[in-house]
Amino acid sequence: MKTLALLVLALLLTGCADDAPPPPASDYCQTEDAAMSRYDLRQSSFGGGEISPRSLGRADLPQYLQSGALVENWLIHQQGSLARRPGFGHVGVCKTIDPFVSVERASSTGDYDLYGLAYGAELGRWVGVGQSNGTEPVIVYSDDDGVTWTAASSVPNLNAPLHGAAWSGSRFVVVGSLVGGNTTIMYSADGDTWIDASTALTGTPTLVDVVWMGNLFVAVGVASDIVVTSPTGATWTERSTTYGGKAVARSTDSGNLITSGTATAVSTDGGLTWGTLGHPTGYAVNGVIYSGGFYYLGSNATAGGAGSIHRGTGDGTWTQVYLNGSGSTAVFYLAEFGDYLVGVGQGGLLVYSIDDGATWTTSAIEAVNLHECFTGNGTLVIVGESDGTDAQLFTLSVNATKRRLI
């Protein structure tokens, strides 16, 4: 049996009260627990170039805090001679602090893996979907941005895993695998009580993702050319395509819809009609996103399985901007999170970019397969599979992005 534990990823936010005690004489990187008025040692020594040439005394800090220039992740070191203490400087950001590494476990709620997420802003509620024992659908929800989770109280008794979820502003819809000739679909007004809307679709596909496009839910199927739409989630209409759909994402600037699998396409009318974007040769795409004028594809090589991210402008050409050389490390999902682009995937893979996708950094999170990352209410939630004992779920505050040199 695999017991789910929810893991909460919390960045250590920084600050410094004006009456804080002076630091020790050695250079160090610290964060302050404002409630406890104490400092946590994060790094005891630094190499060349890790300390900003600009220093601020303690008396200078209030004006930065009041002006909204948030001062976080400081390098702090002793200033002046013994006769000049307690002067010390607050200088820059800690280059070596990875915003994705501090993981804290939350409460365990069951025995399952999670594959999909949605955030209902009007309810302040997260919904996660997945499966247990290989076949049973699982739906859980959280009202505190992923800190604690509760199993939905009323879920139709269908023997089919769930893969994707979406919120329309008034209703959640979740989609999943085939059972008894019907593709699994459910909807709910509150994320707790669910209604079965499963339906027979051409090719009997598994639906792997669903999004809300402002007036329609749009869902895509794996290993088929199926795209289905619904205004309510209760009844569904099949749409014709000429490519193999797999992952789906809404663009962030113009409301277009992108889907990919063995081919990549875009729809400008909410999934009714589609045009091709080309496709990187030799890659099976799992996650797609549009950000800052670029399309991004998260994938694995069809030979070797190495995780990869490609970037393109929509003209049919693609440039590889990330490649993980450690073997089976497919990138399953991509998301925007404040200043970051984030990708998650196989073997606990988590990568992020702070320079609009030009370069990517692999984080040091210990996890199994991470299947989706989703942003809501200033929080990034990441869900994944069990490692045999615990499933993987992380959260990260959007304040993680506010790190500035001062």
pLDDT tens digits, one per residue of 340-388: 899 998 888 889 898 889 999 887 566 778 899 899 988 888 888 876 6
Residue 364's contacts (CB-CB under 8 Å, 6 or more residues apart) are 98, 100, 101
The gap from C-alpha 281 to its chain's centroid, in whole angstroms, comes to 26
Do residues 127 and 118 touch, judged by C-beta distance below 8 A?
Answer: yes
| β-bridge mates for residue 28, sequence order | 76
> What is the per-residue pLDDT for 161?
93
Cα separations in angstroms, 130 against 135, 160, 217, 356, 401: 9, 9, 19, 31, 29
pLDDT tens digits, one per residue of 306-329: 889 999 998 889 999 998 876 678
> What is the per-residue pLDDT for 122?
98
Q: How far apart are CA 138 and CA 160, in angstroms?
A: 9
pLDDT at 280 over 60: yes
Where in the chain do CATH 2.120.10.80 domains reside? Answer: 103-401
Burial (0-12, 13-18, 19+ Cβ within 10 Å), 192: middle
- Model confidence at 26, pLDDT cuts 50, 70, 90, reads very low
Average pLDDT over residues 30-58: 42
> What is the per-residue pLDDT for 364?
57
Do residues 356 and 372 touch, judged by C-beta distance below 8 A?
Answer: no
The gap from C-alpha 138 to its chain's centroid, in whole angstroms, comes to 20
pLDDT at 46 over 80: no
Closest CA to 351 of 324, 376, 391, 311: 324
- Model confidence at 20, pLDDT cuts 50, 70, 90, reads very low
> What is the per-residue pLDDT for 155?
94
Q: How far apart are CA 206 and CA 116, in angstroms?
A: 14
Share of the chain above pLDDT 90, in %: 29
| β-bridge mates for residue 336, sequence order | 341
Residue 130's contacts (CB-CB under 8 Å, 6 or more residues apart) are 112, 113, 114, 115, 116, 137, 138, 161, 162, 383, 391
pLDDT tens digits, one per residue of 144-182: 888 888 999 999 988 899 999 999 999 999 999 988 889
Into which CATH architecture does domain 103-401 fall?
A: 6 Propeller (2.120)
- Model confidence at 339, pLDDT cuts 50, 70, 90, reads confident
pLDDT tens digits, one per residue of 98-115: 566 554 555 556 678 899
Average pLDDT over residues 253-266: 79
> What is the per-residue pLDDT for 237?
93
Cα separations in angstroms, 207 against 114, 138, 215, 226, 318: 15, 16, 20, 9, 27
Average pLDDT over residues 71-75: 41
Q: How far apart are CA 166 and CA 267, in angstroms?
A: 18
> What is the per-residue pLDDT for 274?
82
| DSSP assignments along 245-279, one per residue | EEEEEE-SSS--EEEEESSEEEESSTTSS-EEEE-
143/84: higher pLDDT: 143
| β-bridge mates for residue 76, sequence order | 28, 90
Which range is least confidently modeled, 10-19, 171-180, 237-246? 10-19
CB atoms within 10 A of CB 333: 27
For the chain, give the mean pLDDT.
Answer: 73
What is the pTM assigned to this prediction? 0.75
> What is the per-residue pLDDT for 391?
62
